[in-house]
Amino acid sequence: MDFLNDPINFIANWMRGLLTGWGLADGLATVIIYIVGIVVLILFAMTLDIFLVWVERKVVARFQDRLGPNRIGPFGIIQPFADIIKLIIKEDITPLGADKLLYNIGPVLAIASVIILWAILPLSSRIFGVDLNVGVLYLVAAGALGTLSIIIGGWASNNKYALLGAFRMVANMVSYEIPMVVVLLVPSILANSMSVQGITQAQSGIWFALLSPLAMLIFLVSAIAELGRSPFDLNEAESEIVAGFHIEYTGMKFGLFYAGELLHAFTFGGFLAVLFFGGYGGFFGLEKIGFFSWLNNPFVQMVVFLAKAMLGYWVIMWIKYSMPRIRIDHMLEFNWKFLTPLALVVLVNTAILSKLLENLPAWGYNLGMFFSNILIAIITIGILRRYGRKQRQLQAKLHPASLANKEQAV
């Protein structure tokens, strides 16, 4: 066992030898090693988070035809540190009538709900926190804590805009959790496993995004909704409720919400890569050829994973900065009348086909899955087109608009 092929176990064994050499009990040494591991993982995530601030600002600037931060350091890369110093030295204000304890718990919970996701994020085949056999459900459970943090923050601020933001967040989360849970079952069925390592390894031949592109798209949409990013950023809609749930937070408490959101977006980019784009692997069998065996190195895998996660994060940013915010009734309608039924259809289709095509060779299975998805997509677009035409005819027939709405209600 050497450092390059199994770094975590190498360091853990070295530390265990060191600690037991000092006369510590083996159990205590294990606890200490675990704690060190957790701290290192969190530090890695948080350090990455600092640079995500810079990435986000730079990318949004490019999308909006600006330059972005470019004064401090090369390409403005030191800018986040200046931001942090500014956030720390700002006055910390607790609004009058706020629930002090809950007000302070809110931001902590917001970032904690993201960091616990890193426990199951498979950075490579040998570098990961833990491989739960219910990893996919764990993702949903962590999302519940994120909702809780926003509710707590919004309620404890004693501010009507903050409370409105919290309300909207609940409506958003409670509805978009459903297509997300349903669609998370699709990779689980395809991989015959709910652990993220199992799902990653099942994609060494072909990415699940190619087997079930619809599931990938639904996951992306519901992930953006869960993140509360545009076009689903109703919980902090600047033009309506100022800043939503974090309106009263100042200094580093606001910073924690902001950092949590960025890291959350990156983490979901990572999960998009893990669930649908092969995670750290997924080289279409290339790594089995002797010449490309270096692709199995944990550090190479980690670079591949981070690159894929960054790409997912970039797509999320791309959508955020090019889409206007949708209205709350449209958001709920889109979820309940479109996304949830579609997710259920995709799930049932995947479940039935995975049994029907079980005995076929791999290419038959893959093609069957892919074309069934395309068929569902074509039917969906057909239904949407008919519905849209009917709506337009209704609008064209009746004027003024108030009458048209009345007609719709009947």
**To the nearest 10°, the Cα dihedral for 324, 330, 332, 337?**
-120
Per CB under 8 A, does 152 bind other proteins? yes
Residues 6+ apart with CB under 8 A from 187: 136, 199, 208, 212, 215, 275, 276
Per CB under 8 A, does 351 bind other proteins? no
Helix, strand and coil percent figures for the chain, each rounded to 5: 75, 0, 25
Residue whose CB is less far from other proteins, 25 or 93: 25
Among 27, 74, 324, 400, binds other proteins (CB under 8 A): 27
The answer to whether 204 and 281 are in contact (CB under 8 A) is yes
**Element spanning 339, H or E:** none
Which range, of 39-47, 121-129, 160-168, 282-290, touches other proteins by CB under 8 A?
Answer: 160-168
Among 59, 137, 323, 404, binds other proteins (CB under 8 A): 137
Residue whose CB is less far from other proteins, 168 or 253: 168
Among 104, 113, 125, 147, binds other proteins (CB under 8 A): 147
Per CB under 8 A, does 175 bind other proteins? no
* C-alpha span between 342 and 350 (Å, rounded): 12
* C-alpha span between 171 and 154 (Å, rounded): 14
Per CB under 8 A, does 332 bind other proteins? no
- If one counts every other C-beta atom within 10 angstroms of the C-beta of residue 45, the result is 19
Per CB under 8 A, does 194 bind other proteins? yes
SS3 400: coil
Per CB under 8 A, does 102 bind other proteins? yes
| Residue 146: CB minimum distance to other proteins, A | 10
| Residue 138: CB minimum distance to other proteins, A | 5
Per CB under 8 A, does 151 bind other proteins? yes
Per CB under 8 A, does 32 bind other proteins? no
Per CB under 8 A, does 408 bind other proteins? no
Residue whose CB is less far from other proteins, 195 or 372: 195
Residue whose CB is less far from other proteins, 207 or 232: 232
Per CB under 8 A, does 144 bind other proteins? yes
> Burial code of 307-317, b = ≥16 C-beta within 10 A, e = fewer?
ebbbebbbebb
| Residue 141: CB minimum distance to other proteins, A | 4
Per CB under 8 A, does 342 bind other proteins? no
SS3 348: helix
Count Cβ atoms within 10 A of the Cβ of residue 179 and give its class: 0-12 exposed, 13-18 middle, 19 or more buried.
buried
Among 134, 348, 374, 379, binds other proteins (CB under 8 A): 134
What is the three-state SS of 63-130? HCCCCCCCCCCHHHCCHHHHHHHHHHHCCCCCCCCCCHHHHHHHHHHHHHHHHHHHHCCCCCCCCCCC
**Residue numbers at the binding site for other proteins (CB under 8 A):** 27, 31, 99, 102, 132-134, 137-138, 140-141, 143-145, 147-148, 151-152, 155, 163, 166-167, 170, 173-174, 177, 194
